[in-house]
Structure 1
């Protein structure tokens, strides 16, 4: 699954980044906390797991948050793991919190 075939939106009313798929909706829930978004949960339809949908959602969310000059609190283990593999996003986490999420 590539980013070009997955249309991700920020559903501000539902407080989640989401992508509609034939198998269901994939999403990352968030909560605004000051100048940060706490990413709390990622859900991908079971039939689409392991096909890059979750990673595409996380990348979209992190790029959007960066563009909005906000910070990230990656409470979702999937998001934190993605950020550990893609340290170019570590600067989105407050320096005093990076160690909590394995972002060294």
Structure 2
């Protein structure tokens, strides 16, 4: 997963990729989950530009607190 900081309070997730050998094992979901946990700990919000990351955050209601609105 790649991301960039846009100031001190915002992270933009711009890419997520999992190798073919690891697909179907929820590795991508775990990457996004870690970003959510890091954002909470650091008190920042996330803009998920990459469709996979956006879909994961939208799918998990418990992650909505870090989504930049």
TM-score, with structure 2 as normaliser: 0.90
State the alpha-carbon separation in 2 of the partners of residues 48 and 91 from structure 1. Answer: 28
Q: Tell me, which stretches of 5 or more residues in structure 2 are unaligned?
A: none
Q: In the TM superposition, what are the counterparts of 1:1-104 in structure 2 within 5 Å?
A: 28-34=1-7, 35-94=9-68, 97=69
Task: Considering fraction of residues, name the structure with more helix.
Answer: 2
CA shift for structure 1 position 84: 1.2
Structure with more contact order per residue of length (Cα contacts < 8 Å, sep ≥ 6): 2
CA shift for structure 1 position 76: 1.0
Task: Considering fraction of residues, name the structure with more strand.
Answer: 1
State the alpha-carbon separation in 2 of the partners of residues 36 and 56 from structure 1. Answer: 20
Deviations 1:33-84 (A, max 9, x none): 1211000000101111111111111111110111100010110111111111
> What RMSD, in angstroms, separates the aligned Cα atoms of the two structures?
1.0
State the alpha-carbon separation in 2 of the partners of residues 93 and 60 from structure 1. Answer: 14
The structure that has the greater radius of gyration is 1
**Runs of 4+ off more than 3 Å:** none
